């Protein structure tokens, strides 16, 4: 691809030749898509300023004139981003982002943001494509308790890959179609065979009356499977019942259709009698598989009625007993900084509270970070807390940083390699902590309620600020309870 088409240029600036083969065209579109959703970990910045997604939020080409688009990031940074048609705010934002993301490396490396390692993998790209094109419905019928042959069969139905009459005719094969599951002649298609045929309607109505479900407005494999497979918590017997019922119903309908059409020794019986036999077979599937299913989550009360009809009892795993969680005090003469991050609807904020070993309030803060994730908010809250400690000159006092994010704690202590998009913030945290006596500790969220409340204020007001512990009743209650060693209940 590089030698034949690109010749040292960016794929986004080169047009694919009309005479290119189909293989080259498919590779071409795939590469362009990968470039659009990848980013850079850069030092000198020897790549296109506008054609590469170095900011991680999209390319700059739409706001640049063609002459600027030919510049490299390093060349634009040497000019302090003083480019025509860019307003002062945009220039300042680009300069700030450049200073934040730039590393001390002597080379540039393309980063794949959809894998923790930052390296491109076929698995992560496939997962990304599936998450964009389909819901989690495909993973719902790939279960250990569903036989693989049925899972494969459902996958074929979703991809219209079973040989019903309509699919055969779509291959330009002349065929007189007649549904084998109806008394009156009808065109056989996937939707008709499994959802509209006389036999299918009888079977579905029977089990829908038991489960209190209703047909979706449009009956397709996607809508029907989504309706049934979305019921119950993952790992519960309730989810097991619904997923087993829908998969076995469709499997038995297909078996009966093939038997009526191709089995020479098959006795043609009335549709209603065959439908009752299919109902018994579906119930037998549930009875046979239920003893082998180990529930890891609880089911709703309404599931007991369905299970009793099918002939087995519901088992709910025992609930974990509640425990008491206390605010963790630091050693004498030490300070404790509780931090927390909050994210909602694509935006995030962070906050923290600094107290002494007796729980007395020293200061607090909350900051709104704009677009970001919860992990980013957790890291930035720790950084903001360290900045305040250094500003207050607490360099000779041990500071215990308590966070309810185990990953943030492990990133800060270098126990775990941070994802590429948080490295810039972690480098700042490590640099800020060099002049302080810092000890990191992970705590439960129930013991971090004061910081959790303060962080939520950043999302609520979408601004930076400080909470007043005398006027904010909730914060005052949390501080008083922690200082008096009043426990919180963890369920």
pLDDT in tens, 33-72: 777 778 888 999 888 888 788 887 677 766 665 556 578 8
What pLDDT was estimated at residue 216?
Answer: 83
What pLDDT was estimated at residue 169?
Answer: 84
pLDDT tens track for 292-315: 888 888 888 888 889 888 888 888
Task: Report how far apart the first and last C-alpha atoms of the chain are (Å, whole number).
Answer: 57
What percent of the chain lies above the pLDDT cut of 70? 89
Q: Are strands 437-442 and 398-403 parallel, antiparallel or unpaired?
A: parallel
Among 90-94, 107-111, 242-246, the range of highest mean pLDDT: 242-246
Q: What residue ranges define each of the domains in the chain, with the CATH number in brackets?
A: 37-128 (no CATH), 137-310 (no CATH), 324-490 (3.30.420.10)
pLDDT tens track for 340-349: 999 998 899 9
What pLDDT was estimated at residue 391?
Answer: 94
pTM of the model: 0.57
| pLDDT band at 23; cut points 50, 70, 90 | low
Among 27-31, 39-43, 85-89, 403-407, the range of highest mean pLDDT: 403-407
**353 and 337 in contact (C-beta within 8 Å)?**
yes
Q: Which residues have CB under 8 Å from 288's CB, separation 6+?
A: none
pLDDT tens track for 228-278: 988 988 889 999 999 999 999 999 999 999 998 888 877 778 889 999 999
pLDDT above 90: residue 411? yes
As to burial, measured by CB atoms within 10 angstroms (0-12 exposed, 13-18 middle, 19+ buried), residue 224 is buried
Q: Which residues have CB under 8 Å from 118's CB, separation 6+?
A: 41, 109, 111, 112, 419, 420
What pLDDT was estimated at residue 133?
Answer: 47
Which of 90-99, 329-338, 412-421 bottoms out in mean pLDDT, i.e. has the lowest? 90-99
pLDDT tens track for 116-155: 778 888 788 777 766 654 446 777 778 888 889 999 999 9
H helical segments located in 263-373: 271-289, 303-310
Average pLDDT over residues 212-235: 86
- Give whole-number Cα distances, 451 to 213, 380, 482, in Å: 44, 14, 12
Query: What are the φ and ψ backbone dihedral angles of 230, each rounded to 5 degrees?
Result: -90, 0
């Amino acid at each position: 691809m590089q030698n034949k088409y690109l010749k040292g240029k960016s794929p986004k600036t080169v047009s694919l030749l009309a005479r290119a083969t189909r293989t080259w065209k498919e590779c071409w579109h795939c590469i362009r898509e990968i470039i659009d959703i990848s980013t850079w970990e850069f030092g000198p910045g020897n790549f296109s300023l506008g054609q590469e997604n170095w900011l991680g939020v999209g390319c700059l080409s739409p706001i640049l004139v063609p002459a600027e688009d030919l510049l490299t990031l390093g060349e634009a940074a040497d000019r302090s981003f003083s480019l025509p048609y860019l307003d002062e705010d945009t220039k300042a934002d680009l300069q700030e982002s450049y200073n934040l993301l730039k590393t001390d490396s002597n080379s540039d490396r393309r980063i794949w943001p959809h894998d923790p390692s930052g390296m491109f993998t076929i698995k992560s790209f496939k997962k990304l494509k599936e998450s964009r094109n389909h819901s989690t419905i495909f993973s719902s019928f790939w279960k250990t308790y569903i036989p693989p042959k049925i899972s494969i069969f459902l996958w074929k139905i979703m991809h219209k890959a079973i040989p019903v009459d309509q699919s055969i005719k779509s291959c330009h094969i002349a065929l007189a179609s007649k549904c084998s599951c109806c008394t009156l002649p009808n065109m056989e298609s996937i939707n008709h065979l499994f959802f509209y045929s006389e036999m299918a309607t009888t079977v579905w109505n029977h089990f829908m009356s038991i489960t209190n479900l209703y047909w979706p407005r449009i009956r397709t494999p996607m809508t029907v499977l989504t309706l049934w497979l979305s019921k119950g918590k993952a790992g519960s017997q309730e989810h097991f019942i619904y997923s087993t019922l829908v998969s076995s119903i469709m499997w038995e309908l297909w078996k009966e259709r093939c038997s009526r059409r191709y089995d020479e020794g098959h006795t043609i019986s009335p549709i209603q009698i065959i439908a009752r036999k299919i109902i018994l077979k579906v119930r037998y599937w549930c009875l046979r598989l239920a003893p082998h299913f180990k529930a890891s989550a609880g089911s709703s009360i309404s599931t007991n009625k369905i299970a009793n009809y099918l002939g087995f009892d519901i088992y709910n795993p025992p609930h974990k007993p509640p425990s008491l969680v206390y605010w963790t005090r630091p050693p004498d003469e030490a300070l404790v900084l509780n931090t927390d991050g909050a994210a909602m609807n694509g935006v995030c904020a962070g906050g923290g509270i600094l107290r002494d070993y007796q729980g007395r309030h020293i200061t607090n803060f909350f900051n709104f970070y704009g677009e970001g994730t919860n992990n980013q908010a957790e890291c930035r809250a720790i950084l903001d807390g360290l900045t305040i400690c250094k500003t207050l000159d607490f360099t000779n006092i041990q500071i215990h940083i308590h966070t309810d994010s185990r990953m943030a704690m492990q990133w800060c202590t270098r126990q775990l390699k941070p994802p590429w998009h948080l490295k810039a913030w972690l480098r700042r945290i490590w640099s800020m902590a060099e002049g302080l006596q810092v000890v990191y500790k992970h705590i439960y969220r129930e013991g971090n309620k004061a910081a959790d409340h303060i962080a939520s204020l950043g999302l609520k007001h979408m601004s930076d600020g400080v909470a007043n512990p005398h006027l904010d009743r909730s914060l005052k209650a949390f501080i008083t309870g922690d200082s008096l060693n009043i426990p919180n209940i963890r369920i």
